[in-house]
Each structure stands twice: as C-alpha cells, then as structure tokens.
Structure 1
Amino acid sequence: MNPEFSDDLLARLREAFQRTRYDTDGVLAALGGAAHAALGRGEPELAFRASQDAGELGTLIRLLLLGSAEPAAEVEAALAPVPVADALSAGLLTPAGESLRAGLDVRPHGTGDTPANAGVAGRGEQGEWWVISDLDSDLLGGEVPPEHVLGVGHASLSLVRATIRRPVGTLLDLGTGCGVQALHGARHAQRVTATDVSSRALALADATFRLNEVDVELLRGEWFSPVARRRFDQVVCNPPFVVGPPRVDYTYRDSGLAGDDASALVVRQLPAFLTDGGIGQLLASWLHVEGEDWADRVTRWLPAETDAWFVQRDVADPGLYVGTWLRDAGIDPSSPEGRAKAGAWLDWFADNKVQGVGFGFVTLRRAEVAHPTIVCEDLRQAFDDPLGPEAAGWLDRVAWLQEHGDELLETRFRVPSTVLLESVAGPGDEGWETTIRRLHRTDGPGWQHEVDEPAAALLAGCRGALPLSDLLELLSFAHGGSAEELREAALPMIRELVRHGMVEPA
C-alpha cells in the first residue's frame, strides 16, 4: 500500500521542521562536525549522544535519522502541529509499544550553495529540501521489500554532482525514485517532468515535491513511454543499472533486462528525446567481456548524430560486485539465501565470460554536426571537484573543435596556469636523466598526459603569441625532423589536450 499525504499534513510537517530547524544546517549544528561525519560513515553512537542535548530537534534526529523508538509524548511535541494520528495513518510513523518509530525515511538534503538560476519559486530555490523515501535495510533490520524506494545514496549524489547546471527550459528526470534529481533540476530548469515505473516511488516523490513546494510533472510508465513524442532540453537518469541475470528482485536496481541492456537501452533511446543541442546525463554500467574492449561495447549503443563522453570511474570484480549488491538489499551473502543468489549470479557472469563490471557517467548531446565526437576514457583517480562543470566544459571544448578543427594550425594556443609539467628523473651515466614528462592539470578531475621532449618544448611555446604552425616550424629547426611529420604527431595531441582543458585558444 502506498503512503498518502494530504496537503494539510505536508504543510504542518514543513512547519514542524522549520520550527525545530530540522534541516542540514540545524542537524550539523546540533551534532557537531565529528558526530555528523561519523554518522555519514554509518557510525551512529556519537550522533545519539550529541542529540540528547538538542531538545525537540534531537528527538527528530533520533527518530528520523537514527531509527530510534522515541516516547510518544516527545514525538508529538517535536512534530507539532502534526497530529500523531495523521502521521500514523500516512505511514510516516509506526507504533513501537508505548513509543513511536519512523515508518519512512525523511531527512534533510541540501546543496550548500545558492542557485545561479532558480526555475521554480518556493523552498527549492534555496537548494535545501527534505527527501522522503523508504527505510534502508539497516533500519528495517533485514531485507528490503521488492518495491523499496531508495533514498539519497552515494550513486544519486554522484549523479547530482556530475549533472550540468546551466539554465534550461525543460528537464526530464527519467526513473525519478525518491525525486532527488528532479529537486536539483528544478533549480535551473523552468519546467521539470519526472517519471517512474513504480507507483510507490511516484507517491513518495510527489510527497517530497509538495513538502518542499516544488512544482514537478509526474508520469508513470516504463522507460520513455510516458513522454513519447516529447523532447527536452536536458534529461537526467539514474536507471536500474545493476547487471546480471534478467530478473527483477527490487525495482530500484533491477530492470528485468539481461546484463548491461538497461544502460544500453537508455543510451540508445535518450538522444531521440532531446531538443537540438540538448544534453542527457546518466549513470551506467557496462560489462567487461573476455576478448572485447569496453569502449567498443558502449560505442555500439550510440545512435547517429550524438556526441558522447563515457567516463569510467570504477571496474568491479564480479565476486565483489555480487556481494556488494546483496548487502545493499539487506541479504547476508553467507546465508543460504545469499549463497543461492550469489551462485546464480556468478554462474551467469561465468557463462557470459564477464571479467568485470564497469561503472561511470555518460554525457550525451544531440549533435548538429555530420561527425559527432565520441570519447571513452578512464577517470579512476580520486578527485573532490564535481564532474558537472567539467562535463559542461568538455561539451564546450568539443563544440569548439568541431567548428575550428580545420583551423588548428592557424590558432594561437596557450597553456592555462592550472597546468603544470612534472618531470621524473632517474640516475644515468651522466647524472640524472629525465625518464617521464607528465602534463598535469591541477584543477577539475586532474587530467594527466605523458609527453615527450619535443611535445614539452612545443607546449612551452604555447603562450598565445604565435600560431601553432609557426611553433612547429621552430620546433623542426631545434629538434630536427620535418614540419609535416611534426604536424601529424602534434595535431591529435592538441585535440586531446583541448578536450581536457589543458590547452586553450588564446
């Protein structure tokens, strides 16, 4: 049975949260930095202790964030003016003897900044919300149900950080779940549409949107069917991308399609729902199959006239992958059920010669050129900056190359101040000898490129004064070799460095 929240109940709940300061700043102030960080690591004891001195806010923290059973009178006071009977009826609370527990996960979520362009009036403009979802397996004390609606997890947060936040007219959140991508989208899109196949997910997302006074169009159906024949300026999608046998144990993670077919389906179909120049971004998984390059695999998914950037953030061993997703659903991998599910999963991997499971981000653009750009690359190093601004810059740089790609020799380039040349030297017959020269961009994802001595010398001359052709002529005199040979070697390198923001037109 799906929860039902009246507008009156949500208005009262919003009033209670505002009165008690049950928001991201209020919770952090009540718990302190150490306890808040420990809670994020799944270590709640410090938060339990800190919340004891936080009054009604502390009651809400223990009730809604820590899963504690709290005395009914204290819950009633903390949630005032919400009638406890109404909260019980809606499924927000559940009885626990003479105490009350949370029946749903309701937690603050914010961006920590202010919007450059808010598309919808109301609380959502401030980038501060409350998100309603189902309790996770830890708070349930066991396996989650098949219709479980996932809250704001690491995957959804990574997509939030990877999404481009430029103003758009229309945005589609495909497979909205608890609605977190649509909340963030409402800050830069004038109109937001959210879809899901799960009626429970739509019910909780609808409650989240109304609680935060954010206007979102909600539609139910599989994949793109609810928005047939419509186009959007931007599409974001956190699909059920878990790979394995074609089954649906949990709607939040399983598509019923075999292997990585769910990710392939979204990549194939998404560009048709974009306006000209529109952008799609999604999380995806792909199989690493024996004898096949993963880049070749995902490239085959693409329709024509689509710029695409596949960024692989991780590759998981099949055994580790299966164990991780079993635990995510609240199943002990050592239990009889866990062993049976793991065995069937691993058998499928073995039968299909799967050596690993890749995971990462996909950025797509409905291209307006005859020869779109497709790049697949690894980005497995740690970095703190969000990927969204980098994705926007990548698309800008690709568009520049598509327009000016035939004019590179006439272009004056410069190396940004954020790019350094690192040298590694080893002992040689005549002292220290440079063995590695590495170009390193110190901002964004921290791209690195190894270069040889002539390339380093060429880049040293990229100070915006001379066109590339003149620099290559000078390099041919200094290092030997014909200018034509140098051009053939330099142009692919320059294109790649431009895409990575390590060389730019002056």
Structure 2
Amino acid sequence: MLPEPDPALCRDLAADLRDAGFTAEAVRGAWGGAADDAIARGLRSPAARALGDRRDPLAVLGRLLVLGMPEAEASVDAALPRTGAAGLAALGLVAVSQGRAVPTALVRPQSYADADGTGQWWIASDLDEAALGGPLPEDHVLGVGGASLTLASLQLPTPARRGLDIGAGCGIQALRARRSVESVTATDISPRALAFTRLNALLNGVDGVETRLGSLFEPVAGERYDRVVSNPPFVITPRVDGVPVYEYRDGGREGDDVVAEFVRGVGAHLEPGGVAQLLGNWETRAGQDGLDRVRSWVESSPVPLDAWVVEREALDPLSYAELWVRDGGTLAGSTGFARLVDAWLDDFTARQVTKVGFGYILLRRPATGTPTLRRFERLHQALAGDSLGGHLADALAVHDRLSVLDDAGVAASVFVVAPDVTEARHHVPGQEDPTVIELRQGGGFGRALAVDPGLAALVGACDGDLPAGVLIDAIAELLGADAAALRADLLPRVRELAFTGFLRPA
C-alpha cells in the first residue's frame, strides 16, 4: 500500500520535476520517437540505449521514473534537490538501499490539450511489465494508456458543478474532469488505486478531488451528479480458475455485465440534464447484435435516458482473447498463453459470442420531458482529431436546439458550413457530371458522406445568409424539381448534417 502522500513533499517533487524540464516532449526528445513508441509496446532498452551514460537530471529521471530502472542515490539527489531519493521513498515511489534508488512505481509526464489550452501532468502508477520483467500482479494500478487518453478526450468541456469518476485507477479522469467540473468524487474498489489518485492530485496541484472506496455506485448511494465519467473494468474475462483477475480491467461479472449494470444504474445518479460518459465492451451473443444489446440496456433503465453509443471497433473471439492475454504480460507462444486463450474461447463458446465491440457510451438524463436522442452507430474509421469532447458538446447543443423545431422551423433556420468540411467529386474520364460527390469532415469523428447533387448544392450555399428553406426552393428551381418534395427529402438530412458537425446553426 502506498503511504498517504505528504502535500509538502508533493509540492517539492512537482517543483523539482518542473525545474528538470521533465515533460512528455522533453523525454521523447531525449531518446527519440522510435524508442518512445517502443515503450508503449513494453520495450525499454531502446530508450535506455539512447540515453547511454548521461547523468543530467532529465536522463536520470527518465531512467528512474519512466523506464523503472534503478539509479544511484546521489544521482537522484542531484536531479531532485528539494525531494531527493529519501523524499521519493517517503512517497512510496522508490526503495533506497545501499546507495541505490530502486523504483517501486512510475511517474510519467503526460501532456494534454482541451478547449481551455494545453498543459502537463505527472501521473504516478505501478511498474509496468517491462520494469517488472514479467506478468502484472492482479492489484496492478495502470498508468495512462490508450483507453484512458481516449476517454479523457471525450469528456465534455462544458462547466458543471459535481462530478463522479467511477473506477478512478490512477486518477487521470478525475484530473481531466476537474478542468471543467467544480468538484469530483473518485471511487474505486482498490485502496491502492485511490492512493495513487490522491498522490496525483497533489502532485499536479489539483484540489477538489475526494476519494471513496467501493464498487460502482455503492460509495455514492442516494447521491446525484451533473457529470459522471468511467473507464470501468469492462474487459470480458472467463470466470474460471487459473485466469488472472486484474482489478484494473475485470469487474468480476460475467461477459459484458459490468457495462450493462452501469448503463442501467447510472440514471439514478444523474441530475436532470446530467451526462455520463464511459468506455465499454459489448458482445454479439446468440445472434443478437452488440449495439442492439446496448440499446436494450438503455431501454431497461428505470430512469429514461438520452443515449449516443458509438462502436469504434469489433474483434472476433480469438483476436479479443489474444489481446487481453498479452495485456497481462503473458508472452505469445508460451504454454501459459495458449492455455489462457483457450479459457477465453471456451467462455465465448459457452455463451454463443461471435464478436465483441468496443466503443463510447454517452447517456443523459433529460432536463425535462422524455428522451429525444437515441443514436447507435458504428464508426470504425480513423478519428480526425484527438479531442472529441467539444464535438460531442456541440452535437448535443445542436440536437437540443433542433429537436424542438418542426420541419418548418428547420427551414426557417440559417446554417453555415463548418470550416473543417471539404468536398470531393469523382468523375469518370470524359463525363462532365460527377459519379460520386463526397463531403469529408476534418474534425470530430472524421465522417465521409456520399451526397446527391441537391444536398451538395444546399451545403455549398449555406454561408450564413439565407434560411435553409429559401435555399432549397432555389435549388429545386435550378434542378427542375418539386420544391415540396425536395424540402421533404433534404430537411431531415440537414438535421443530420447539423448534428454531426458538417453544418452549424448560424
């Protein structure tokens, strides 16, 4: 267990790290992009080789805190003059013995960018597989990975009063939430994870984060929040002997039940207008499509909810099993690897699972009335940007604005083309008219839409001057089409283009 972090020591360590220039960009520059990318794949030797025998503070801290390699106590004292090796030991980050500081945790710099600007965090977490030299312990507290960065980028940047982070882990989501939420309650089943959350909040000078021990909604029974975020332990794990149960990724339920339980239960903990965002897996099981199963969870919530669910990828059972067996540090090709994969495949076969989807779930308790948003979609293309929170917030605002308008109201509205939208026209050689007209989005989800000439003409004419209905009537005259029929065709598509960010209400 980590000791309770001393606030003064955390302030000293932050000052030392700042003075050493211990940033994500500086560390990457010290050993190069290829070596930095290799660290994410569990290879630390390229970075260590690039540093060689450098003894400057950045090199010492890179080896000690990023790679998890022992350093001479004197070198650590010189690199961290306020904190020293003894201060790191008091924080539970190293063990000092015979003149050497041996890492017991990692502290990695993490840059971020959101609507309010850019900055740096230092995130402490447990040693990874490379530093341990083998599989992870079951109570491992994960650092900042791809999934946690994704969820951080998805968080709405709009202001809110009370936030809740369920399954806080190292605390990265709580730190991100505090950028726009006045206070955050962070919960986890792991006391060690909550200790890391408190340490990271202090290390980064973030106040207003309270920690509570417990599973899912148990620690906040009877309480409601304006914003809920969760990177829950959603990984589907066989419930059989011999399969490691990692706290950071396994919620102790069968299949995708932990995500289903969250979806059904979160509404009672949302204030009217409150939003919950989470990552999750869902199974295509016994012929029922995974997104349809998520839809059934939403519909069975005792509290009616708006829902926007995006599936980003889908894996077959074998690929899914291999992914998560490797994630635990078991080497491919070993006897143990094959045994664990078989356990996953047996579990999937028993429940007739043919595919596992991964994606994002956004749920909202309507401020008044009944839900008006039910959207379940697959977007497997590469994302156009790395910060989706603003895009999601804009989409919700547009939905709320247009959902109270009938078609006449939409026709009377003025729109402008979003600045990131481009148009591509594909022609067969020798033909004047295009065979395909495509609108492409440079931000958001990077959508690409094939459109007909009428819709392309409308989008091209949306410059914030004339209402959509006037433009459609003019286009109908140019095309020799019936204006009423063209309105009936185009106005629902205008709603869709506005929601997805191709058009913006002027």
TM (norm. structure 2) is: 0.88
Distance apart, 1:90 and its partner CA = 5.2
| 1:425 matched to 2:433 | no
SS in structure 1 at match of 2:362: strand
| 1:306 matched to 2:308 | no
Range 463-472 or range 301-310, more displaced: 463-472
Distance, in Å, in 2 between the alignment partners of 1:486 and 1:341 is 58
Would the aligned equivalents of 1:308 and 1:364 in 2 still touch at CA under 8 Å? yes
Deviations along 1:346-370, one digit per CA (max 9) or x if unpaired, are: 1121222222211111222221343
| 1:374 matched to 2:370 | no
Would the aligned equivalents of 1:385 and 1:445 in 2 still touch at CA under 8 Å? no
Aligned equivalent of 2:454: 454
Corresponding residue to 1:181 among 173, 182, 188? 173
Distance, in Å, in 1 between the alignment partners of 2:247 and 2:292 is 29
SS in structure 2 at match of 1:438: strand
Distance 1:114 1:161, change over 3 A: closer
Q: How does 1:428-447 map to 2 (within 5 A)?
A: 431=431, 434-447=434-447
Q: How does 1:354-369 map to 2 (within 5 A)?
A: 354-367=353-366, 368-369=368-369
Aligned equivalent of 1:13: 13
Distance 1:75 1:458, change over 3 A: closer
Distance, in Å, in 1 between the alignment partners of 2:114 and 2:155 is 15
Percent pairwise identity: 38
Aligned equivalent of 1:269: 265
Distance, in Å, in 2 between the alignment partners of 1:213 and 1:465 is 47
Aligned equivalent of 2:349: 350
Range 303-312 or range 100-109, more displaced: 303-312
Distance, in Å, in 2 between the alignment partners of 1:245 and 1:420 is 46
Q: How does 1:80-91 map to 2 (within 5 A)?
A: 80-82=81-83, 84=85, 87-88=88-89, 91=92
Would the aligned equivalents of 2:5 and 2:198 in 1 still touch at CA under 8 Å? no
SS in structure 2 at match of 1:426: coil
Deviations along 1:334-389, one digit per CA (max 9) or x if unpaired, are: 33332222112111212222222111112222213434211122222222341111
Distance, in Å, in 2 between the alignment partners of 1:179 and 1:477 is 59
Deviations along 1:308-334, one digit per CA (max 9) or x if unpaired, are: 211221112221111111111111243
Distance 1:472 1:204, change over 3 A: closer
Aligned equivalent of 1:119: none
Distance, in Å, in 1 between the alignment partners of 2:6 and 2:411 is 65
SS in structure 1 at match of 2:449: strand
Distance, in Å, in 1 between the alignment partners of 2:206 and 2:396 is 29
Distance apart, 1:206 and its partner CA = 1.6
Q: How does 1:334-345 map to 2 (within 5 A)?
A: 334-345=333-344
Range 445-454 or range 277-286, more displaced: 445-454
Structure 1 spans left out of the alignment, 5+ residues: 117-125
Distance, in Å, in 1 between the alignment partners of 2:146 and 2:206 is 23
Distance 1:46 1:334, change over 3 A: closer
Distance apart, 1:133 and its partner CA = 0.9
Range 207-216 or range 12-21, more displaced: 12-21
Corresponding residue to 1:206 among 198, 210, 220? 198
Distance apart, 1:439 and its partner CA = 1.9
Q: Give the number of aligned pairs.
A: 495
Distance 1:173 1:127, change over 3 A: farther
Would the aligned equivalents of 1:35 and 1:50 in 2 still touch at CA under 8 Å? no
Structure 2 spans left out of the alignment, 5+ residues: none
SS in structure 2 at match of 1:301: helix
Distance apart, 1:53 and its partner CA = 3.3
Distance apart, 1:260 and its partner CA = 1.4
Tell me the amino acid that sits aligned with residue 340 of structure 2. K
SS in structure 1 at match of 2:358: strand
Would the aligned equivalents of 1:288 and 1:355 in 2 still touch at CA under 8 Å? yes
Distance, in Å, in 1 between the alignment partners of 2:350 and 2:445 is 36
Would the aligned equivalents of 1:30 and 1:54 in 2 still touch at CA under 8 Å? no
Distance, in Å, in 1 between the alignment partners of 2:354 and 2:493 is 31
Distance, in Å, in 1 between the alignment partners of 2:210 and 2:16 is 26
Distance apart, 1:421 and its partner CA = 2.8
Distance apart, 1:238 and its partner CA = 0.6
Distance, in Å, in 1 between the alignment partners of 2:425 and 2:84 is 67
Tell me the amino acid that sits aligned with residue 213 of structure 1. G
Distance 1:417 1:150, change over 3 A: closer
Aligned equivalent of 1:486: 486
Aligned equivalent of 2:111: 110
Range 61-70 or range 363-372, more displaced: 363-372
Would the aligned equivalents of 2:74 and 2:99 in 1 still touch at CA under 8 Å? no
Tell me the amino acid that sits aligned with residue 379 of structure 1. L
Corresponding residue to 1:130 among 122, 125, 131? 122
SS in structure 1 at match of 2:130: helix
SS in structure 1 at match of 2:279: strand
Distance 1:74 1:83, change over 3 A: closer
Distance 1:67 1:403, change over 3 A: same
Distance 1:465 1:8, change over 3 A: closer
Distance, in Å, in 1 between the alignment partners of 2:337 and 2:284 is 24
Aligned equivalent of 1:400: 401
Would the aligned equivalents of 1:313 and 1:380 in 2 still touch at CA under 8 Å? yes
Aligned equivalent of 2:161: 169
Distance, in Å, in 2 between the alignment partners of 1:263 and 1:166 is 25
TM (norm. structure 1) is: 0.88
Would the aligned equivalents of 2:166 and 2:186 in 1 still touch at CA under 8 Å? yes
Aligned equivalent of 2:232: 239
Distance, in Å, in 2 between the alignment partners of 1:340 and 1:188 is 46
| 1:227 matched to 2:228 | no
Range 303-312 or range 356-365, more displaced: 303-312
Distance apart, 1:261 and its partner CA = 1.4
Distance 1:322 1:206, change over 3 A: same
Deviations along 1:226-246, one digit per CA (max 9) or x if unpaired, are: 112212221111100112434
Distance, in Å, in 2 between the alignment partners of 1:23 and 1:424 is 45
SS in structure 1 at match of 2:122: strand
Range 182-191 or range 65-74, more displaced: 65-74
SS in structure 2 at match of 1:321: helix
SS in structure 2 at match of 1:47: helix
Distance 1:12 1:371, change over 3 A: closer
Aligned equivalent of 1:123: none
Would the aligned equivalents of 2:78 and 2:84 in 1 still touch at CA under 8 Å? no
Aligned equivalent of 1:53: 54
Distance apart, 1:81 and its partner CA = 4.0
Distance, in Å, in 2 between the alignment partners of 1:273 and 1:322 is 33
Distance 1:64 1:495, change over 3 A: same
Tell me the amino acid that sits aligned with residue 263 of structure 2. V
SS in structure 2 at match of 1:111: strand
Range 453-462 or range 157-166, more displaced: 453-462
